[in-house]
Structure 1
Amino acid sequence: MKHGQRTLVAAATAAALVLLGGCGSGDGDVASGSSAGARLAVVATTPEVADFVRTIAGSDVTVTQIIKPNVDPHEYEPTPADIQAIAAASLVVKNGVGLEEWLNPTIESAGFSGTVVDSSRGVRIRQGDPGDEEMKDGDPHIWHNPQNAKIMVGNIEKGLAAADPSHASTYRANLAGYAAKLDKLDADNEAAFATLPVDQRKLVTNHDAFGYYVDRYHLQFVGSVIPSMDTSAELSAKQLTDLVAKIKATGTKAIFTESSLPPKTAEAIAQQAGVKVVGGDDALYGDSLGRLGTPQGTYLGAERHNTQVIVSALGG
């Protein structure tokens, strides 16, 4: 964990303890789901994980989402409200694979004694450059393969059923219905890319977030504007020149920006390489989902958006 994160966790802990001290026992019981008829309280770390929990749980669970839409999870720092939510929860669900470096100390600060569900359990993890600090546990962007998403929601269903056996049949039914939708998403993605000639399936993105997607749909990853999983990293002058040269040499048609990252460097590289930059409303959802209530505010909607944008831009 970065020094700034440790400092903020300590400060947030003090503030949260004051707030928690002012809560009556009745409020705590309702929040934790321990009182009769109360809904299970679940904290989900990322937008993707929160969407999975809401989908599998339905109306039987209260879900608190820590990281909001279009916020970079690699640079996230917890707040007093996060500590409060975790302290009051019965279940915490995380993406895993090292994405939430801030979570363990935050859980410790909150005094959380419930269950942590690692949704990545059983997923085959991509390994990357051992020199990339963000990749020390492997590539955390596991959800970009719908078959991995099926494993994730399966882990979430098991965690919900164990914490709330009275609604286990509902969770199981919701899982079956959602798994079918994930299979359809996967098949639709494959069909969409089949319309592109193989030599046009070349991807340049803001940062290296789409490895599982590239592997699943047999794309060629040409490079990224940010040269690692760490979204705070920057291209050196040589790396920038090399990326521009590679884009030109491979005939790559576009650079895709991402919703949670600034597009300026991507725009500058695209101008130098003489290719279009895809951004604005067409920015990809690499680390996040769209706003709740929008089509891209769900995992299924965001992934459909990504495929439609990529195929349209590379096929145009």
Structure 2
Amino acid sequence: MKQIHLLVWTATLAVLAGCGSAAAEPGASAPAATKLAVVATTPEVADFVRNIGGADVDVTQIIKPNVDPHEYEPTPADLQAIASAELVVKNGVGLEEWLDRTIESAGFKGTVVDSSQGVTLREGGHHEEEAEGEHAEEEGEEHDPHIWHDPRNAEIMVTNIQKGLAAADPAKADAFAKNLTAYTAELDKLDSDNAAAWAEIPAADRKLVTNHDAFGYYIARYELEFVGSVIPSLDTSAELSAKQLTDLVAKIKATGTKAIFAESSLPPKTTEAIAQQAGVKVIAGEDALFGDSLGAPGTPEGTYLGAERHNTQVIVDALAG
């Protein structure tokens, strides 16, 4: 179905391009572009591009806040933006499985920057790690795409972005390098602040249950214990079986886990039901974690740094109580 939609959108894009050409006056010249036109796929990647590119880039963000990237389906506007871009920046690690076909349909011939290059990837998720035998081998081929939840990975991502921007617009390379230095310092501070916050929580209380398995890199970085997730998968397409639900409730009780954390881009209904059965509090609403997305534009949580600070503060406060 998605492929059919892309074919229709490609035809639409061609018609729009034709209309634009017909409307232009003979001999008229387009104004010189002063900013590098960049398409960024996810809210996190778009925020990175804005911080490194500064006033020298014009960023079109494909996936809007609180939209599930695992289930995203591109629109005609996305194709048009990609067709007009000089650079496309993606998260990578298979998160944007729709992107390659969309780029082909848009006729984009420019550079695609994979911000995940050089990041040490987790193989599979926690549920795959717990699998045994032949099933584990099949699932182990998948890598966890939620790389940005470790600030050290975010530093690799923004470095890749800076290199991509500099190659596309060499005249602005010094500005991009300066922005990278300043932003990397902020990422370092985020990491040290997170570590300091977790140092106040006893190791026995550092237990995490979330909507889906999106925090593997965060858990590894700050030495937490993954108890389970409502959706037993790295993406959001799976569902708990009755046995898995019963097992998760039992594990929450047995481990003394204090809370279940909902996520901003996923409905909290099942999370609330499991929390009620397990007799623990559910953290949702304004306190929901940003697992796959960022907050609304113009809010502190609308930036990567703000969303990650929010996540740490919410989790630490809940587990300390």
Question: Under a length normalisation based on structure 1, what TM-score does the superposition of the two structures give?
Answer: 0.94
Aligned equivalents of 2:46 and 2:304: distance in 1?
Answer: 10
User: What is the aligned-residue identity percentage?
Assistant: 72
Contact 1:73 1:99 in 2 (8 A): yes
**Other structure's SS at 1:51 match:** helix
Contact 1:284 1:306 in 2 (8 A): yes
Aligned equivalents of 1:76 and 1:305: distance in 2?
Answer: 25
Structure 1 segment 25-36 matched on structure 2, within 5 A? 36=32
Match of residue 31 from structure 1? none
Aligned equivalents of 1:23 and 1:62: distance in 2?
Answer: 21
Match of residue 90 from structure 1? 86
Structure 1 segment 110-125 matched on structure 2, within 5 A? 110-125=106-121
Counterpart among 25, 34, 37 of residue 38 in structure 1: 34
1:165 aligns with 2:170: yes
Aligned equivalents of 2:169 and 2:32: distance in 1?
Answer: 12
Match of residue 7 from structure 2? 10
How far did residue 21 of structure 1 move? 2.1
Q: Which runs of 5+ in 1 are unaligned?
A: 28-33
How far did residue 136 of structure 1 move? 4.4
1:252 aligns with 2:257: yes
How far did residue 137 of structure 1 move? 4.1
Aligned equivalents of 1:170 and 1:133: distance in 2?
Answer: 45
Seen in structure 2, the aligned counterparts of structure 1 residues 134 and 36 have a Cα distance that, compared at 3 Å, is farther
User: Which deviations, in whole Å up to 9, do the C-alpha atoms of 1:200-258 show, x marking residues without a partner?
Assistant: 00000000000000000000000000010120211000000000000000000000000
1:101 aligns with 2:106: no
Aligned equivalents of 1:39 and 1:207: distance in 2?
Answer: 38
Match of residue 160 from structure 2? 155
Aligned equivalents of 1:266 and 1:184: distance in 2?
Answer: 32
Match of residue 131 from structure 2? none
11-20 or 155-164: bigger deviation:
11-20
1:272 aligns with 2:268: no
Structure 1 segment 123-202 matched on structure 2, within 5 A? 123-128=119-124, 129=128, 136-202=141-207
How far did residue 10 of structure 1 move? 2.0
Seen in structure 2, the aligned counterparts of structure 1 residues 134 and 161 have a Cα distance that, compared at 3 Å, is farther
Seen in structure 2, the aligned counterparts of structure 1 residues 83 and 55 have a Cα distance that, compared at 3 Å, is same
Question: Under a length normalisation based on structure 2, what TM-score does the superposition of the two structures give?
Answer: 0.92
Contact 1:134 1:230 in 2 (8 A): no
Aligned equivalents of 1:26 and 1:65: distance in 2?
Answer: 27
Equivalenced residue count is 307
- Structure 1 runs of 4+ aligned residues shifted over 6 Å read 130-135
User: Which deviations, in whole Å up to 9, do the C-alpha atoms of 1:243-275 show, x marking residues without a partner?
Assistant: 000000000000000000000000000000000
Match of residue 20 from structure 1? 17
Match of residue 30 from structure 1? none
Aligned equivalents of 2:32 and 2:306: distance in 1?
Answer: 36
Aligned equivalents of 1:265 and 1:255: distance in 2?
Answer: 11
**Other structure's SS at 1:41 match:** strand
58-67 or 10-19: bigger deviation:
10-19
**Other structure's SS at 1:24 match:** helix
How far did residue 38 of structure 1 move? 2.5
Residue identity matched to 2:115: S
**Other structure's SS at 1:189 match:** helix
Contact 1:134 1:228 in 2 (8 A): no
Seen in structure 2, the aligned counterparts of structure 1 residues 6 and 138 have a Cα distance that, compared at 3 Å, is same
How far did residue 6 of structure 1 move? 1.9
Counterpart among 51, 69, 77 of residue 81 in structure 1: 77
Contact 1:260 1:285 in 2 (8 A): yes
**Other structure's SS at 2:282 match:** strand
**Other structure's SS at 1:117 match:** strand
How far did residue 7 of structure 1 move? 2.5
